[in-house]
A and B are shown apart, each in its own frame.
Chain A
Amino acid sequence: MDILTHMAFGAQIILQPINLLFCFLGVLMGTLVGVLPGLGPTAAIALLLPNTFHVSPVTAIIMLAGIYYGAMYGGSTTSILVNIPGEAASVITCLDGYQMALKGRAGPALGIAAFGSFIAGTVSIIGLMLVAPPLARFALAFGPPEYFSLMLLGIVILIYLASGSILKALMIFVFGLLISTIGMDSISGTQRLTFGILELCDGVGLIPAIMGLFGVAEVIANVEQAIRTDVITTKVKNLLPNLQDWKDSFWPIIRGSVLGFFIGILPGPAPVISSFSSYAIEKKLSKHPEKFGTGVIEGVAGPESANNSATGGAFIPLFTLGIPVNSVIAILLGAFMIHGIQPGPMIITKYPDLFWGTIMSMYLGNIMLLVLNLPLIGLWVQVLKVPYPILFPLILLFCLVGVYSLNYSLVEIALMIGFGVFGYLAKKFQFEMAPLVLAIVIGPMMENNLRLSLVISQGNPMIFITHPISAACIFTTLALLISPLVPWIGKRRQKLQEKVEGEEV
């Protein structure tokens, strides 16, 4: 079996001590930011990226991916014990998780969240392993026009699902596109909007932007509100769910895993959407929907599985097409490029160590997470008690040091602070940051592919319609943009929005 050889190859890579260490560090950091409210995986990955420059790309990606799926585990702990989502994807877990904790069943809730996440993680890794390589072969059919149309579709889906008004999401996206035009024009080589600042020649750096938007802005916003931290102090016991718990959760976990994986492939805040969808499905399928919200275990098992599975799915567009579907993946894409790897269909054949190594690390990382999250739960409860006056200045410090260590540039520090203030203000006016980040990443790619397409077609825009894959994407995009004008669909979208409200990724 071909796939078994590949898996063995991946196992060889992850079993190297340095990779084991970085995988462990990644999931540890992931759990930590997952547990801490106000700090998400996006900021954490951006923060730690500069620290990975001296290791090989495989090692770096293993660690950064670990943070991503690790955060999904950690988030549930805070939701269940404090009734505050540790990160956005665990919002829904608060409903039944906290109720279970109040009834003294915090143990099984934490237990099923961890086991569900583990099973879902495994399912999505298998999916990734089976789906990505054949898809990558198909990806050679993607030329400049196809890439452009697909990215256009991706961004419109993201905007469509954005919480708040489509108009605001569009505004912030276009603003992001404008930022992305700063720097050297990749086709003609002329400078645009750089105002003579040499540091801007290559455009606005992704890392300063993200650290500003998710690190600095988050800290400023959190300073405003006192976060209540009355952790359920009763000793957490009986982490292992009993037989009845397992019977109740088995199908929710399986359904959540499959659902999460497929939602993960789509652009958008997949972990958040998938956990909400899973909760909705479980409630609909349940024999006792009225009990949801009073502490039923299905309400924890389904969503927690779904958000974990979605992280695996989100890697597929990254590994096969080099297209980021959410802000975390966007930073990972940046990480690839910083390490000299151009993501795209070649990645699986050209860097098999990277692809298979990362996949196998996810297996191992999931096992590590199980160990970290069950026996060591007490430790994480302690972490929740770290006072914010200590935590926030530390985060700010790490942001400053992290950005400066990138290029030793004060311009980038200024940029980060600027983005921080902007992000804070935008938050006040209920603008979402995901379209902005994606626009900064995707903008140059979109522009480049648009112009390349037109060079190839010698200026004829029909190239986007005559290529079938491109045409399909364009028409779907148009349909999505028109659909909110149709009243019936508009209402449905509003409902979906309400569900996604308040998410971060």
Chain B
Amino acid sequence: MKRWKWMFVTLVIFSMLTVSTSAQDFPKGLITYMNPFNPGGEVDIAARAMQPYLEKNLGVSFVINYLPGAGGALCWSKLAAAKPDGYTIGGFSIPHIILQPMFMKDVAFKTDDFVILAIVEYTPIGLAVKKDFKASTVKEFIDYAKANPGKVSCGGVGKFTGHHFATLQFMKMTGVKLNYATFTGTAPMQTALMGGHIDAVFSNSTMMVSSREEIKVLAVGSPERMPQLPDVPTFKELDLEFYPRIARGVMVPKAVPREIQVRLEKAFLDTTSKPEFKVKMEQAGFVPQVMGIADSHKYLEAETKLLNKLIQDYNLLQPTK
């Protein structure tokens, strides 16, 4: 008896999984959202905030599946190989998906294996120093760093990441030499800065917003001042055309049928244009975005160009010391 019951249950589950993949009646079953990072990270916060709206819009459930590892590369390699039926989608970060195929050997995906459905938010990268640091403005910071070349330690998360490239670009633009210290995550970097063990960081606006009392935020990379940090100037105000940021959104394998891409794109655009969604994201220190397939790819292209230039300028594809 029991065995029959189990077989029945298994059958039901399988019949639920093998939903029709024809585009007209998409979506029919649950959609798996692959999250390349840990729960509680920036991608996760955005995904959780969107989930109820998406479920209402598409009329099916969203399951968030965490596949962290290798700075996101593990998840994206799996996503690139997933069945292109639109039932598996994945979160991403730019510049990670541009840089990893260039620099990591065992990565099983290329940036153009995917179609980006939407860019949902970005976090400008800001420059902050420890509380008792001698400089209180970007100008003073540059002067101090020039007087002490290579002596100022500046933290960032990972190498070949948004933080790393922001530091490189800043050094290039201002002609200073900073000592880049690689951290594994924002939290240990935050403590090291608060404890005065490093002098400065290039980090996400989410960190600047959450610990603005304990550190000195010198500038942020947004085009205009961030409403969450009204007293902090932008780099642009200081005559630095410098907009470092990490953008995040959702993508699918390239082979997903066009109609399904468009259906999903609509669901995301409907969600991200909701005012209450924007408010939620802003409170957490994000800059919400409403960008569909076309806009997102324009962004991706521009960013790729910028990064390529940086890589050439610094000769980064050559193995350094």
Contact between chains at B181 and A455 (CB < 8 Å): yes
Q: Does residue A494 face the partner (Cβ distance < 8 Å to B)?
A: no
Q: Does residue A165 face the partner (Cβ distance < 8 Å to B)?
A: no
Q: Does residue B223 face the partner (Cβ distance < 8 Å to A)?
A: no
CB B153 to nearest CB in A, in angstroms, measures 5
Q: Which of B10-18, B34-42, B268-276 contacts A (4 or more CB under 8 A)?
A: B34-42
Interface residues of B in 172-231 (CB under 8 A from A): 179-188, 190-192, 194-198
CB-based nearest B residue for A187: B182
Contact between chains at A339 and B39 (CB < 8 Å): yes
In the bound complex, CA of A53 to CA of B38 (Å): 11
Given A338-B38, A407-B69, are A189 and B103 neighbors across the interface (CB < 8 Å)? yes
CB-based nearest A residue for B190: A346
Residues of the A chain whose Cβ atoms lie less than 8 Å from the Cβ of B69: 198-199, 201-202, 407
CB B306 to nearest CB in A, in angstroms, measures 20
> Across the A-B interface, how many residue pairs have beta carbons closer than 8 Å?
108
Q: Return the CB mask of B28-49 against A: 1 if under 8 Å, else 0.
A: 0000000000111100100000
Given A194-B106, A202-B70, A455-B181, are A189 and B158 neighbors across the interface (CB < 8 Å)? yes
CB-based nearest B residue for A453: B197
Residues of the A chain whose Cβ atoms lie less than 8 Å from the Cβ of B180: 455
Contact between chains at B182 and A186 (CB < 8 Å): yes
Considering only CB atoms and an 8 Å cut-off, how many residues of chain B contact the other chain? 44
Contact between chains at A344 and B191 (CB < 8 Å): yes
Residues of the A chain whose Cβ atoms lie less than 8 Å from the Cβ of B41: 340
Residues of the B chain whose Cβ atoms lie less than 8 Å from the Cβ of A198: 69-70, 73-74, 77, 106-108
Contact between chains at B179 and A458 (CB < 8 Å): yes
Interface residues of A in 156-196 (CB under 8 A from B): 183-184, 186-189, 191, 194, 196
In the bound complex, CA of A187 to CA of B70 (Å): 13
Q: Does residue A18 face the partner (Cβ distance < 8 Å to B)?
A: no
Residues of the A chain whose Cβ atoms lie less than 8 Å from the Cβ of B150: 458
Residues of the B chain whose Cβ atoms lie less than 8 Å from the Cβ of A478: none
Given A144-B197, A196-B106, A341-B40, are A201 and B73 neighbors across the interface (CB < 8 Å)? yes
Q: Does residue B266 face the partner (Cβ distance < 8 Å to A)?
A: no
Residues of the B chain whose Cβ atoms lie less than 8 Å from the Cβ of A202: 68-70, 74
Q: Does residue B26 face the partner (Cβ distance < 8 Å to A)?
A: no
Q: Does residue B105 face the partner (Cβ distance < 8 Å to A)?
A: yes
In the bound complex, CA of A183 to CA of B68 (Å): 13
Q: Does residue A371 face the partner (Cβ distance < 8 Å to B)?
A: no
Q: Does residue A482 face the partner (Cβ distance < 8 Å to B)?
A: no
CB B51 to nearest CB in A, in angstroms, measures 13
Given A198-B70, A202-B70, A456-B181, are A340 and B40 neighbors across the interface (CB < 8 Å)? yes
Q: Does residue A126 face the partner (Cβ distance < 8 Å to B)?
A: no
> Which has the most chain B C-beta neighbours within 10 Å: A187, A194, A199, A458?
A187
In the bound complex, CA of A199 to CA of B69 (Å): 8
In the bound complex, CA of A339 to CA of B39 (Å): 6
Q: Does residue A342 face the partner (Cβ distance < 8 Å to B)?
A: yes
Contact between chains at A456 and B66 (CB < 8 Å): no
Residues of the A chain whose Cβ atoms lie less than 8 Å from the Cβ of B267: none
Contact between chains at B44 and A340 (CB < 8 Å): yes
Q: Does residue B243 face the partner (Cβ distance < 8 Å to A)?
A: no
Residues of the A chain whose Cβ atoms lie less than 8 Å from the Cβ of B197: 143-144, 456
Contact between chains at B191 and A345 (CB < 8 Å): yes
Q: Does residue A396 face the partner (Cβ distance < 8 Å to B)?
A: no
Q: Does residue B67 face the partner (Cβ distance < 8 Å to A)?
A: yes
Residues of the A chain whose Cβ atoms lie less than 8 Å from the Cβ of B186: 342
CB B34 to nearest CB in A, in angstroms, measures 11
CB-based nearest A residue for B100: A189
Contact between chains at B179 and A346 (CB < 8 Å): no
Q: Does residue A452 face the partner (Cβ distance < 8 Å to B)?
A: yes
Q: Does residue B171 face the partner (Cβ distance < 8 Å to A)?
A: no
CB B316 to nearest CB in A, in angstroms, measures 11
Residues of the A chain whose Cβ atoms lie less than 8 Å from the Cβ of B68: 202
Residues of the B chain whose Cβ atoms lie less than 8 Å from the Cβ of A456: 153, 179, 181, 197-198
Residues of the A chain whose Cβ atoms lie less than 8 Å from the Cβ of B77: 198
Q: Does residue B101 face the partner (Cβ distance < 8 Å to A)?
A: no
In the bound complex, CA of A201 to CA of B66 (Å): 16
Interface residues of A in 312-352 (CB under 8 A from B): 337-342, 344-346
In the bound complex, CA of A412 to CA of B244 (Å): 37
Contact between chains at A346 and B187 (CB < 8 Å): yes
In the bound complex, CA of A194 to CA of B219 (Å): 40
Contact between chains at A342 and B188 (CB < 8 Å): yes
Residues of the A chain whose Cβ atoms lie less than 8 Å from the Cβ of B160: 189
In the bound complex, CA of A282 to CA of B31 (Å): 62
Q: Return the CB mask of A112-136 against B: 1 if under 8 Å, else 0.
A: 0000000000000000000000000
Q: Does residue B84 face the partner (Cβ distance < 8 Å to A)?
A: no
Residues of the B chain whose Cβ atoms lie less than 8 Å from the Cβ of A144: 192, 197
Q: Does residue B9 face the partner (Cβ distance < 8 Å to A)?
A: no
Residues of the A chain whose Cβ atoms lie less than 8 Å from the Cβ of B106: 191, 194, 196-198, 201
In the bound complex, CA of A338 to CA of B183 (Å): 18
Contact between chains at A140 and B44 (CB < 8 Å): no
Q: Which of A189, A340, A344 meets B159, CB within 8 Å?
A: A189
Interface residues of A in 249-263 (CB under 8 A from B): none
Residues of the B chain whose Cβ atoms lie less than 8 Å from the Cβ of A346: 187, 190-191, 194
Given A189-B159, A456-B197, are A184 and B66 neighbors across the interface (CB < 8 Å)? no
Contact between chains at B179 and A455 (CB < 8 Å): yes
CB-based nearest A residue for B319: A190
In the bound complex, CA of A188 to CA of B71 (Å): 13
Residues of the A chain whose Cβ atoms lie less than 8 Å from the Cβ of B183: 448, 452
> Which has the most chain B C-beta neighbours within 10 Å: A189, A197, A448?
A189
CB A129 to nearest CB in B, in angstroms, measures 22
Interface residues of B in 99-128 (CB under 8 A from A): 103-108
CB-based nearest A residue for B180: A455
CB B214 to nearest CB in A, in angstroms, measures 9
Task: List, sorted by A's number, 13 A–B pairs whose CB atoms are closer than 8 Å.
Answer: A53-B39, A140-B195, A141-B195, A187-B159, A188-B182, A191-B105, A198-B74, A338-B38, A339-B40, A341-B40, A452-B183, A455-B181, A456-B153
- Measured CB to CB, the residues of B under 8 A from A are 38-41, 44, 66-71, 73-74, 77, 103-108, 150-151, 153, 158-160, 179-188, 190-192, 194-198
Apart from A340-B38, A452-B181, A458-B151: 15 A-B pairs, beta carbons within 8 A: A53-B39, A140-B194, A140-B195, A189-B103, A191-B104, A199-B74, A201-B106, A337-B38, A339-B38, A339-B39, A342-B186, A345-B195, A455-B180, A455-B182, A456-B197
Give 10 nearest A-B pairs by CB, closest first. A340-B40, A143-B197, A342-B187, A201-B70, A202-B69, A140-B195, A189-B159, A187-B182, A340-B38, A340-B39
